[in-house]
Amino acid sequence: MARVNIPTFKLNDGRDIPVLGYGTWLGMDEDFEFSAAGMPKMNEALSYAIDIGYRHIDTAHLYRMEPEVGKIVNKKIQDGVVKREELFITTKVWHHYHREADVEVSVRDSLRRLNLDYVDLVLMHWPMSISQEGVDEKIDYLETWRGFEIVQQKGLAKSIGVSNFNLDQMKRLLANCKVPPAVNQVEINLNLGQKDLVDFCSTHKVLTVAYSPFGTMVPSRSAPNSPEPKLNNPTMVAIAKKYGKTVTQVTLRYLYERGIITIPKTVTLSRVLENASIFDFNLDKDDIEKLAEFDNGYRTVRPIFWQDYENYPFDKVPGKMDIPEALRIWKNGMNLDID
């Protein structure tokens, strides 16, 4: 079986985090409904990922995958494939748990679903606080962060961080916390480079983790009128050919060379291997400059149903819709029956 060797970056709390992980968000359909139909393939792909050397797994309460991740991880540990301390497992706290005391409730529930004693990293999934009924609870994320500091003190999470925080929110959080976040997980890809945010985080020793690292490049994320590059973009194809790599490998390598961690998602075994086979070449200066030219601020993930809520982190665009039920109330696991 092929093996991959994924390097690590150092977190500001001294711990190591693999620079590339396996993302476990299955997504929702065009009607914003969630289906567990893809879980078997994702379970197979995650199992394979661990077998070939992946050690970083990214999940969340929202993803419904915590029970499945826990089963796979515990099986791999029992089978002697990997030791728990060799894995880096991230989960996230959803909108409903933003009161200081509720953060611990959420993390303990995640640990129960994962069947683990601790997670390596827990993130505040979004800076907004929204009830299951869709009510804006307007809880200050500084209060929520105090709950994160407590779960770290109790050893429930080794490291703590945030997700989807913009530059102003990061500045305010860093100015008002006892423990700085170890990471900020945000959308980063060739269209959305977020240079100012990444540079600020880097200056303050906060690592950036990129979700949706391919943006709308891949057919499954394609959107009407979305910008280049696509997989057949001539510039991308030429650069990939030059290094004997794929277009997506070039993309992941570019983000790695920017000091950004990526968590690409795939349920295709060959792509699990392909995504992690990016540590044997270096992009030259001219190619880096060409890739940077694709940055136009286009955002793939734009949840307009939250944009009128306090602490929404993105610029607002015309449009209105109700919060999908799948983002308010759900159960977890393959049968969607686990609280």
Q: What is the mean pLDDT of the chain?
A: 97
Task: Write down the pLDDT at residue 302.
Answer: 95
Which is higher by pLDDT, 312 or 218? 312
Q: What is the mean pLDDT of residues 83-102?
A: 98
CA–CA dist 31, 35 (Å, integer): 11
Closest CA to 23 of 190, 218, 263: 263
3-class SS of residue 182: coil
Asked if 120 and 91 touch (Cβ cutoff 8 Å), the reply is no
Q: What's the number of domains the chain is made of?
A: 1
pLDDT at 224 over 90: no
**336 belongs to a structural domain:** no
**2 belongs to a structural domain:** no
Q: pLDDT band for position 265 (50/70/90)?
A: very high
Query: Helix H segments across 79-140?
Result: 100-114
Residue 56 annotated as lining a ligand binding site: no
CA–CA dist 145, 204 (Å, integer): 17
Q: What is the mean pLDDT of residues 75-101?
A: 98
Annotated catalytic sites, by residue? 63
Task: Write down the pLDDT at residue 318.
Answer: 94
> Cα angle vertex 44, ends 42, 46, to 5°?
65
Q: pLDDT band for position 222 (50/70/90)?
A: confident
Task: Please count the other Cβ atoms lying within 10 Å of the Cβ belonging to residue 47.
Answer: 17
pLDDT at 219 over 90: no
CA–CA dist 215, 302 (Å, integer): 12
CA–CA dist 73, 95 (Å, integer): 26
pLDDT at 220 over 90: no
Query: Helix H segments across 115-208?
Result: 141-153, 167-175, 195-203
Task: Write down the pLDDT at residue 30.
Answer: 87
CATH (domain of 321): 3.20.20.100
Q: For the whole model, what pTM was predicted?
A: 0.98
pLDDT at 223 over 90: no
**36 belongs to a structural domain:** yes
**3 belongs to a structural domain:** no
Task: Write down the pLDDT at residue 221.
Answer: 84
**232 belongs to a structural domain:** yes
Residue 19 DSSP code? S
**72 belongs to a structural domain:** yes
**335 belongs to a structural domain:** no
Asked if 193 and 292 touch (Cβ cutoff 8 Å), the reply is yes
Parent domain of 219:
8-327
Task: Write down the pLDDT at residue 209.
Answer: 99
Query: Helix H segments across the chain?
Result: 39-52, 66-78, 100-114, 141-153, 167-175, 195-203, 234-243, 247-257, 269-275, 285-292
**337 belongs to a structural domain:** no
- The pLDDT tens digits for 105-148 are 999 999 999 999 999 999 999 999 999 999 999 999 999 999 99
Q: What is the mean pLDDT of residues 170-193?
A: 98
Q: What percent of the chain has pLDDT over 70?
A: 100
- The pLDDT tens digits for 139-172 are 999 999 999 999 999 999 999 999 999 999 999 9
Q: What is the mean pLDDT of residues 282-310?
A: 97
